Amino acid sequence: MATENKVIIVTGGGSGIGRESAYKLAEQGNTIVIADFNEAGAKETVAQIEKSGGKATSYKLDVSKAEEVEALINFTVETYGTLNGIFNNAGIGLVKPFLEMDPASYHKVIDVDQHSVYYGMYYAAKKMVEIGAKGVFVNTASIYGTMAAKGSFNYNAAKAAVVMMSKSAALELAEHGIRVNGVAPGFIDTPILGEDKEMKDYLAAQHMHNRLIQPQQVAEVVAFLFSDAASAINGQTVPVDDGFLSFK
């Protein structure tokens, strides 16, 4: 199943889903570029990959800046000679009621969670077509890309866009040998949830097994989508939600 000897970028690879996906992809024999605004986190991910015998390097950037994403793509190809895929995973949340969702709050999430996915796919695809490389893109959407949640107007809008951008890009890039899919995680057990046990228990109860989903569980799906075993899956966003969207 594994896709070996590929060069893959993982944005937001300094923690959580990005980090675990980088570990899994490196374990399968791929070279990983860990791109994150959190430079220390990215370097820690690289250190763990190298400790396990894998190949990786870190790269600091702000994914909301088009020119920085373009520079990331160029750096990767200049360093490794090719590019075979990108996991557009970096994202943020900013919960506010709609009537308090001022333009600055709206654009802060849209720029990171939506526009960065476009930048990643656009600049990666341009470069891959230029050098004749084929590969796979995977984008992190969310369960809230297909259903609404109070206080998340900006996040809902961004993640819904990621679902459709994955479909649209898949349609246009298929002729160039590039597959595009997404993952839609449920509630993931990462530090972003904080230490409020009552809240974490509430979120866990939204899943069929009444427990939070581990980042490693999402990473398994991400690695599968990058693999040749998923060659017939294209333009899809796969829920990793322990049944949330099936009964909510």
How distant, in Å, are the alpha carbons of 21, 117, 140, 163 from that of 13? 8, 14, 12, 21
207-225, pLDDT tens digit by residue?
878 788 899 999 999 999 9
Q: Which domains, from first to last, does the chain contain?
A: 7-239 (3.40.50.720)
Q: Where are the beta strands (DSSP E) in the chain?
A: 7-11, 31-36, 55-60, 85-88, 135-140, 178-185, 237-240
Average pLDDT over residues 244-248: 81
Residue 162: what pLDDT? 98
Backbone angles phi, psi at 137, to 5 degrees: -115, 140
Residue 154: what pLDDT? 97
Distance CA 33, CA 146 (A): 30
Average pLDDT over residues 224-245: 95
Residue 200: what pLDDT? 81
As a whole number, the mean pLDDT across the chain is 94
Residue 2: what pLDDT? 53
Residue 242: what pLDDT? 87
Task: Give the model's confidence band at 1: pLDDT under 50 very low, under 70 low, under 90 confident, else very high.
Answer: very low
118, 122, 155, 202: the catalytic one is 155
Contacts of 158 (CB under 8 A, 6+ apart): 91, 109, 110, 112, 113, 114
CA dihedral 65, 110, 102, 153 (to 10 degrees): -170
Is the whole-model pTM more than 0.85?
yes
How distant, in Å, are the alpha carbons of 150, 181, 226, 237 from that of 160? 15, 14, 22, 11
Average pLDDT over residues 216-238: 97
155 has catalytic annotation: yes
Average pLDDT over residues 31-49: 98
104-160, pLDDT tens digit by residue?
999 999 999 999 999 999 999 999 999 999 999 999 999 999 999 999 999 999 999
Residue 213: what pLDDT? 80
Average pLDDT over residues 90-112: 96
Nearest alpha carbon to residue 3 among 214, 231, 172: 231
